[in-house]
């Protein structure tokens, strides 16, 4: 779960939202913490959200865009686990110094924020870190899942594939855009958060920010500039999620998605997708002898 989306975009109180999720499943719930420190108010809010999540029994946290030492301290006190998003060895080493329990290895095929190394290059770069490595980016079907685990990754993180599912409540035009897109339709922009993020090309697409914002993003005010861009992005999501598609189609310029769109050919049930992925692992002779089940 992403707390800003849950509270600001979908209008839930965080604690009540978590409790509602508990009525839907008895499976573990994870918490995605974007820990940018550009805004004191936002940082204090995230701090409080993490406390609430821990009080409500959440024990798995993923951190990004910040130093996760304080999150590790809080979560480990409850016996929880923290994995950290990284794009290269520099950030992986910083995460390990902070005490993270695993690394989300964001490669150059990811949706959302992306790295600049391939799946294989990232594994070779980080394989000696002595931490679990999760492959994030480009996993859309059984083929990519099996390749990642055969390389040596301990699990995968998938996002784009599950947007185009019957269970996802995102607008239908977003799902259709993913189904219709190919790998060549994916590009990047930094207009949404201040750092490169993968999107589907569209008529109103712009890659770079204004001259002023570019200056701010390369100044001592860069963290505050990123907070402003993130706030604007969440405002857009909130508006689009609560408005009729016909009234907002001209405003939908940015559909975030990774290059795994190339493997998405229809809108399916997430249950069917997970069953298919699991069956592919069970039938792979290179993986069936592993002592532990991979994380999917």
Contact between 38 and 224 (Cβ < 8 Å) = yes
pLDDT digit string, tens, across residues 57-107: 999 999 998 999 999 999 999 999 999 999 999 999 999 999 999 999 999
Q: Are 183 and 262 in contact (CB under 8 A)?
A: yes
The whole-model pTM stands at: 0.83
Instruction: Name the band, by pLDDT with cuts 50, 70 and 90, for residue 120.
Output: very high
Report all structural domains of the chain as residue ranges with CATH numbers, in order of start: 3-166+267-282 (3.20.20.70), 172-260 (no CATH)
Determine contact, residues 200/192, Cβ cutoff 8 Å: no
Nearest to 11 by CA among 223, 128, 169: 169
Furthest-apart CA atoms within the chain: distance in Å: 56
Percent of the chain with pLDDT over 70: 77
Residue 213: which pLDDT band, with cuts at 50, 70 and 90? very low
- The set of residues, in sequence order, having a beta carbon less than 8 Å from that of 47 and lying 6+ positions away, is 70
Q: What is the pLDDT of residues 13-55, one digit of tens each?
A: 999 999 999 999 999 999 999 898 767 888 899 999 999 999 9
User: How much is the pLDDT for 201?
Assistant: 84
Q: Which of 123-132, 150-159, 172-181, 210-219 has the lowest mean pLDDT?
A: 210-219
């Amino acid at each position: 779960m992403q707390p800003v989306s849950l509270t600001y975009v979908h209008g839930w109180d965080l604690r009540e939202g978590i409790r509602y999720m508990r009525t839907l499943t008895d499976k573990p719930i994870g918490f995605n913490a974007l820990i940018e420190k550009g805004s004191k108010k936002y940082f204090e809010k995230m701090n409080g959200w993490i406390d609430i999540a821990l009080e409500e029994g959440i024990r798995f946290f993923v951190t990004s865009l910040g130093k996760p030492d304080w999150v590790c301290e809080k979560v480990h006190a409850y016996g929880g686990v923290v994995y950290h998003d990284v794009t290269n060895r520099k950030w992986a080493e910083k995460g390990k110094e902070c005490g993270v329990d695993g690394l989300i290895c964001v490669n150059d095929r990811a949706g959302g924020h992306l790295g600049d190394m391939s799946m294989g290059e990232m594994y070779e770069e980080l394989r000696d870190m002595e931490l679990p490595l999760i492959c994030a980016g480009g996993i859309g079907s059984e083929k990519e899942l099996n390749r990642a685990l055969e390389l040596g990754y301990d699990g995968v993180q998938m996002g784009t594939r599950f947007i185009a599912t019957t269970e996802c409540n995102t607008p239908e035009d977003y799902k259709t855009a993913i189904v219709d897109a190919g790998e060549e339709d994916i590009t990047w922009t930094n207009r949404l958060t201040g750092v490169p993020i993968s999107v589907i090309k569209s008529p109103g697409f712009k890659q770079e920010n204004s001259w002023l914002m570019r200056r701010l993003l390369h100044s001592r005010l860069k963290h505050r500039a990123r907070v402003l861009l993130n706030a604007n992005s969440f405002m857009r999501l909130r508006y689009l999620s609560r408005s009729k598609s016909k009234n907002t189609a001209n405003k939908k310029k940015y559909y975030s998605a990774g290059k795994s769109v190339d493997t998405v050919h229809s809108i399916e049930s997430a249950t069917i997708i997970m069953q298919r992925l699991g069956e592919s692992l069970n039938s792979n002779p290179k993986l069936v002898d592993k002592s532990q089940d991979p994380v999917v």
